[in-house]
Structures are given as C-alpha cells and as structure tokens.
C-alpha cells in the first residue's frame, strides 16, 4: 500500500493534469501555464516558504515526466 505523502500527492496531481492536457491536444499550448494553474496566486502553500518556490517545484517535477533530462535544464 502506498503512503500518501507530499511527494506522491504532487506527482499524482501533476500526472493527472499532464494527461488531461495531452488527451485534449493542448499540451504544447498550455504546458507553460501549468505551474501557475496548479498553484494560483492566493493558494495555500504546502511545505514551502512562497508561491514562487512551489511553482518551481511543479516545473522541475514535470521535466522528467515529459522525458527531459534534468542536466539539460
């Protein structure tokens, strides 16, 4: 049984949103806006000091899921 911690919640939410964008054919157009949509301006930040770091986590967690190498960033 999987443990529900913050890492798994972030990964599951990111995967579901990426798959929804891919299925609708809007992945290329809306991939840049994904961190902003997942962490809106007035959202409660979980485990980080500010919204900007939360959005950076969304960005850097999405790169390997899309098949990019972290050293290429």
Q: Is 47 left (phi over 0), alpha (psi -120 to 50) or beta?
A: left
Q: How would residue 2 be classed by pLDDT, with cut points 50, 70 and 90?
A: low
Whose tokens are 């990426």? That residue is: 18
Span 3-61, pLDDT tens digits: 677 778 888 889 999 999 999 999 889 888 888 888 878 877 777 788 888 888 888 88
Alpha-carbon distance of 51 to 64, in angstroms, equals 21
14 or 1: which leads in pLDDT: 14
Span 52-69, pLDDT tens digits: 888 888 888 888 888 888
Strands (E), 1-73: none
Ordered by start, the domain boundaries in the chain are 6-72
Q: Which two tokens stand for residue 67?
A: 């098949």
**What pLDDT score does 3 carry?**
63
Contact 7, 60 (CB under 8 A): no
């Amino acid at each position: 049984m999987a443990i529900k911690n913050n890492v798994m919640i972030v990964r599951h939410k990111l995967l579901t949103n990426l798959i929804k964008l891919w299925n609708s054919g809007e992945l290329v157009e809306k991939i840049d806006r994904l961190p902003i949509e997942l962490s809106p301006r007035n959202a409660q930040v979980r485990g980080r000091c500010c919204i900007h770091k939360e959005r950076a986590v969304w960005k850097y967690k999405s790169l390997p899921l899309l098949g990019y190498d972290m050293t290429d960033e």
